[in-house]
Amino acid sequence: MPIRQMKESSEQHLVIKTHMQNSINQPQKHHKTAQNGKGPPQPLQESSNTKPQNQTSPPAKNRGRRRGRGGRKSDQGDVCMRPCSRPCTVVHKPVVNPIGDLLSTTSSGPIETGKNVCEMEMGPGFPTSSKSLSFARRPGYGQVGSKCIVKANHFFAELPDKDLNQYDVTITPEVASRTVNRAIMAELVRLYKESDLGMRLPAYDGRKSLYTAGKLPFAWKEFAIKLVDAQDGISGPKREREYKVVIKFVARANMYHLSQFLAGKHADAPQEALQILDIVLRELSTKRYCPVGRSFFSPDIRAPQRLGDGLESWCGFYQSIRPTQMGLSLNIDMASAAFIEPLPVIEFVAQLLGKDVLSRPLSDSDRVKIKKGLRGVKVEVTHRGSVRRKYRVSGLTSQPTRELVFPVDDNSTMKSVVEYFQEMYGFTIQHAHLPCLQVGNQKKANYLPMEACKIVEGQRYTKRLNERQITALLKVTCQRPRDRENDILQTVQNNAYDQDPYAKEFGIKISEKLASVEARILPAPWLKYHETGKEKDCLPQVGQWNMMNKKMINGMTVSRWACINFSRSVQESVARGFCNELAQMCQVSGMEFNSEPVIPIYNARPEHVEKALKHVYHASTNRTKGKELELLLAILPDNNGSLYGDLKRICETDLGLLTQCCLSKHVFKISKQYLANVSLKINVKMGGRNTVLLDAISCRIPLVSDIPTIIFGADVTHPENGEDSSPSIAAVVASQDWPEVTKYAGLVCAQAHRQELIQDLYKTWQDPVRGTVSGGMIRDLLISFRKATGQKPLRIIFYRDGVSEGQFYQVLLYELDAIRKACASLEPNYQPPVTFIVVQKRHHTRLFANNHRDRTSTDKSGNILPGTVVDSKICHPTEFDFYLCSHAGIQGTSRPAHYHVLWDENNFTADGIQSLTNNLCYTYARCTRSVSVVPPAYYAHLAAFRARFYTEPVMHETGSAGSGAGHGAKGTRTGESGVRPLPALKENVKRVMFYC
């Protein structure tokens, strides 16, 4: 019986028109002052005679470099977006009407003008596709910080000097399985290598492409290949299938192009050549191990560890060839993944349900759980001796095996499954009270008794793991840096690339030594606290500090608060003592916090969460005579299921309550450190600031302090594997204070399933009264910035999280265009310069101390020191990227964040963007540690994750995401994408949801 396979969809290339302009919205002399760090910039003049600060082109001496870094040529496209005729002045006092011309929201005036500007055809020279766009070039290398040497898990790969050729492969009849395709080609090579293939050993991608070092003796040839079905066992007749294979020459890979690119003399990476080399180096491992994406796993690498519920962890390694400044590099890292344990199906079901299934009947909920656990899983039969046919499970029968009958001939003669297996195979079904597995499609489904099946080894588990399984998997994956480095080196030795016949064939040589890389350790920034504390400022040590002797720089007031207790194990006296301790900690930390709640602590059951929250809300409002509750403390059980998400959804979208949740274990323990951290979170939820960069107060941050600057963070989170109808959630946050850039506001929106481009950055729609109306998250956050600061942003820094390399062009084109349109919709020709930076955490580059015994070069966990930055050797040959480990390790091996500057109209130096990014990592509001990812990107991730809770009730009731689209600011509007909108966030929640 054939095994069902899902065909992989072909990748589509998206071409998006865009409006881009490299206008500079500040005088060059201020730019220089900020860069050299000799003091704060001079204030901009506020007279009507001030010269316009928007320029159509940079000064002549910078034109060449800006062109090379992807900027628009100075003489192009001026007809599309001219600089504003009014001066862009910095206002140092709050204005009476902070909205002003920039923020007019009527349908006449700026909006109509912006609309006309945005809808104009692009002038000559504007990029219209990814092919005509070049990313920012590296402006030089950083010099700030103390120099050191680190090791990276990159291994130098010597470039082959042979011609690489690509051939197209057509297999008839068409096969969906790459495994079968590989088996066909392996048989072809076995039969014809020494004859028709001219002694060539080709590498095959499992689909349509074959690669050789040197040409084959033919340009086109057809082969007939017979493949024996190994699933039929070793005895009896074997099924034999015949395939027609046509091999046709396509092209010769340009290795000179690759060498020029690696030398920095060519801007575009020759993807074809890189792909060939990657496939060649993966060929042998694909035969030896179980390939999953770019990783390989095997139970032989290390003994599998049980994760529970029928799952086990397999160890493996990740492998990818990458172009770097040192040439070609092979990136090797350790990996672990959850696999389905190759158990007899009955044993798997017993583990899945956590109970004996041989003597008890199954409930309806048991059947649902088994069906979900086994759907799509490949099983092999065990009742036919050496014949081990394999099938993919499509479902589960609703009846037990003893009641199942099926027609055995055209006369509809019926026979029971029990009788059939006894007569056909001499197999007696012992547990006929259990249902059968259904295999095949719905039109022709076959029944297999559970006890006659075993799960096939090597199937990765792709669904969501529970908390227990995640904990068990983390124990396997969490390795100290020295152990991880040793395992990586051992993997390289085991792979023996010098003995790999494919690497030899193609002339690829791999070093067995980790790359030694020059790095720098950036200094930690000074942090400013309130003047009334004993310590007015602080210099973090090894990425950490504490709140002792310090007071929040902007401590807020909490007069009206209440507490709701959902934990049965926490008595009222314990809860009251905890609340008193927390109130005192908030007061000590610099807040004004009322010691008494407005109503007594309210005890509630988790299943009555909505009723309980509304009771507390209304009781508190009645007690305060209509004044709203400022904060709700919630005590939750340690294992609270959906309670946390339900509570946040109800409070943030329905009641408009700001909440602080605390688990029972912390209520009982009452740690000073825990209380201090909770007080930090409460303060920022109230709109306060815990600390700011001292350089920000002193106006000494390059390209931030000189003119009003807004820093954005954006991320998209996608649903778990298997959730085919859930929407993706996009979130954008933006700084709301300047020059401190510490406080953020955020918006979220639902969009199409697995859509990475953020759809709601800018949008227009038709209003029956106002006509064409502009909106979107960028526009709303720019307006919010103006309201908060009294100034319009004259510079934009945009940190974009979660984008893979293959999506760089599409995301930049689409989202930069949306930023442009959002700005233009607010004021004619308003185009502040943009720096667009992609933040990546899902990569496999790891950095190790050069000497693990040297305690001065590592933190307590044995990891490299926080502030370690690398922008040479293992980075891109020409583009503007760097690795930054901004945090201290806790356990395992630290993962540095990878920052890739795709677009830079602000002319950042390497030191400028690296220092800014590192310093911002010390401003994360929820703890007294530097964090691993720049806070705006971190906040955006948290906001998108939080918004997932808002969708859950809809998903459970309807089973799908429904229709419509919107975001927290508009909420109920229906959009074009056919995605149900998220419920509208209450106004007091938008600025704090990601701090919670």
pLDDT value for 440: 76
Any idea which fold 345-456 has? paz domain (2.170.260)
pLDDT value for 159: 85
CA angle 292, 293, 294 (to 5 degrees): 105
The span from the CA of 921 to the CA of 867, in Å, is: 10
β-bridge mates for residue 636, sequence order? 663
Residue 993: count of CB within 10 angstroms of its CB = 26
| Nearest CA among 738, 625, 719 for reference residue 947 | 719
Q: Which tens digits make up the pLDDT trace of 359-394?
A: 888 999 999 999 999 999 999 999 988 888 899 999
Q: Which tens digits make up the pLDDT trace of 780-813?
A: 999 999 999 999 999 999 999 999 999 999 999 9
pLDDT value for 900: 98
Q: Are 687 and 912 in contact (CB under 8 A)?
A: no
> CA 181 → CA 231, 298, 730, distances in Å?
16, 21, 39
Find the mean pLDDT for residues 519-533: 97
CATH number of 555-687: 3.40.50.2300
- Read off φ and ψ for residue 132, nearest 5 degrees: -100, 10
The span from the CA of 795 to the CA of 833, in Å, is: 5
SS3 440: strand
Average pLDDT of the chain?
A: 84
pLDDT value for 952: 56
pLDDT band at 269 (very low <50, low <70, confident <90, very high): confident
User: What residues have CB less than 8 Å from 825, skipping those under 6 apart?
Assistant: 110, 111, 114, 115, 118, 762, 764, 774, 779
Find the mean pLDDT for residues 244-255: 93
β-bridge mates for residue 765, sequence order? 773
pLDDT band at 408 (very low <50, low <70, confident <90, very high): confident
pLDDT value for 649: 95
Residue 94: count of CB within 10 angstroms of its CB = 11
| Nearest CA among 746, 741, 688, 687 for reference residue 710 | 741
| Nearest CA among 880, 753, 902 for reference residue 815 | 902
pLDDT at residue 115 greater than cutoff 70: no
pLDDT at residue 514 greater than cutoff 80: yes
pLDDT band at 132 (very low <50, low <70, confident <90, very high): low
β-bridge mates for residue 249, sequence order? 167
pLDDT band at 751 (very low <50, low <70, confident <90, very high): very high
* Sign of the CA dihedral with 793 first, then 799, 805, and 810 last: negative
- Read off φ and ψ for residue 835, nearest 5 degrees: -115, 120
Q: Which tens digits make up the pLDDT trace of 438-472?
A: 987 665 668 999 999 999 999 999 888 988 999 99
Q: For residue 654, which amino acid is it? A: D
The span from the CA of 8 to the CA of 101, in Å, is: 51
Q: For residue 416, which amino acid is it? A: S
Alpha helical stretches, state H, 557-596: 572-588
Find the mean pLDDT for residues 884-907: 96
| Nearest CA among 63, 136, 324, 145 for reference residue 908 | 136
Most confidently predicted of 43-47, 929-933, 951-955? 929-933
The span from the CA of 585 to the CA of 603, in Å, is: 24
Alpha helical stretches, state H, 289-430: 345-353, 364-374, 417-425
| Nearest CA among 879, 919, 885 for reference residue 901 | 879
Alpha helical stretches, state H, 175-270: 178-192, 255-262
The span from the CA of 26 to the CA of 795, in Å, is: 9
> CA 980 → CA 762, 779, 875, distances in Å?
18, 22, 41
- Dihedral of CA atoms 992, 993, 995, 996 in degrees, nearest 10, equals 120
β-bridge mates for residue 897, sequence order? 884
Q: Are 307 and 336 in contact (CB under 8 A)?
A: no
Q: Which H, E and C letters describe 662-678, residue by residue?
A: EEHHHHHHCCHHHHHHH
pLDDT band at 220 (very low <50, low <70, confident <90, very high): very high
Q: Which tens digits make up the pLDDT trace of 816-847?
A: 999 999 999 999 999 999 999 999 999 999 99
Find the mean pLDDT for residues 100-104: 39
Residue that has been written with the tokens 């949306």 in this structure: 818
- If 0-12 CB within 10 Å is exposed, 13-18 middle and 19+ buried, where does residue 196 land? middle
The span from the CA of 839 to the CA of 312, in Å, is: 32
pLDDT band at 724 (very low <50, low <70, confident <90, very high): confident
- If 0-12 CB within 10 Å is exposed, 13-18 middle and 19+ buried, where does residue 561 land? buried
pLDDT value for 988: 85
The span from the CA of 269 to the CA of 278, in Å, is: 14
Alpha helical stretches, state H, 37-140: 60-68, 110-119
Q: For residue 437, which amino acid is it? A: L
User: What residues have CB less than 8 Å from 422, skipping those under 6 apart?
Assistant: 428, 429
Q: Are 257 and 270 in contact (CB under 8 A)?
A: yes
Token readout for 165 is: 């050729």
Token readout for 501 is: 């016949």
pLDDT at residue 219 greater than cutoff 80: yes
pLDDT at residue 17 greater than cutoff 50: no
| Nearest CA among 733, 805, 800, 666 for reference residue 320 | 805
The span from the CA of 546 to the CA of 231, in Å, is: 63
Q: What percent of the chain has pLDDT over 90?
A: 72
- Dihedral of CA atoms 869, 870, 876, 880 in degrees, nearest 10, equals 40
The span from the CA of 379 to the CA of 231, in Å, is: 12
Find the mean pLDDT for residues 901-929: 97
pLDDT band at 237 (very low <50, low <70, confident <90, very high): low
Q: How many CA atoms lie within 13 A of 982 on its CB side?
A: 33
Q: Could you tell me which residue, 28 or 242, shows the higher pLDDT? A: 242
Find the mean pLDDT for residues 753-765: 95
Run of H or E including 171: strand 164-172
pTM for the whole thing? 0.84
Say which CATH architecture domain 702-843+898-952+979-995 belongs to: 2-Layer Sandwich (3.30)
pLDDT band at 977 (very low <50, low <70, confident <90, very high): low
Q: How many CA atoms lie within 13 A of 73 on its CB side?
A: 9
pLDDT value for 572: 94
- Among 563-572, 668-677, 694-703, 713-722, where is mean pLDDT lowest? 713-722
pLDDT at residue 510 greater than cutoff 90: yes
Beta strands in 736-808, from DSSP E residues, in sequence order: 744-751, 763-767, 771-775, 795-801
> CA 698 → CA 41, 130, 415, 867, distances in Å?
10, 41, 87, 22
Find the mean pLDDT for residues 154-178: 92
The span from the CA of 340 to the CA of 476, in Å, is: 16
Q: Which tens digits make up the pLDDT trace of 55-71?
A: 333 333 333 333 333 33
User: What residues have CB less than 8 Å from 769, skipping those under 6 apart?
Assistant: none
Beta strands in 474-571, from DSSP E residues, in sequence order: 509-510, 515-521, 527-528, 537-538, 557-558, 561-565
The span from the CA of 494 to the CA of 673, in Å, is: 46
Q: For residue 449, which amino acid is it? A: P
Q: How many CA atoms lie within 13 A of 251 on its CB side?
A: 7
Task: Please report, for the chain, the start and end positions of each structural domain, with discontinuous segments joined by +.
Answer: 345-456, 555-687, 702-843+898-952+979-995
pLDDT value for 161: 84
* Sign of the CA dihedral with 268 first, then 270, 271, and 277 last: negative
Rg (CA), the chain: 31
Q: How many CA atoms lie within 13 A of 224 on its CB side?
A: 3
Same fold, 555-687 and 702-843+898-952+979-995: no
Residue that has been written with the tokens 């910095």 in this structure: 90
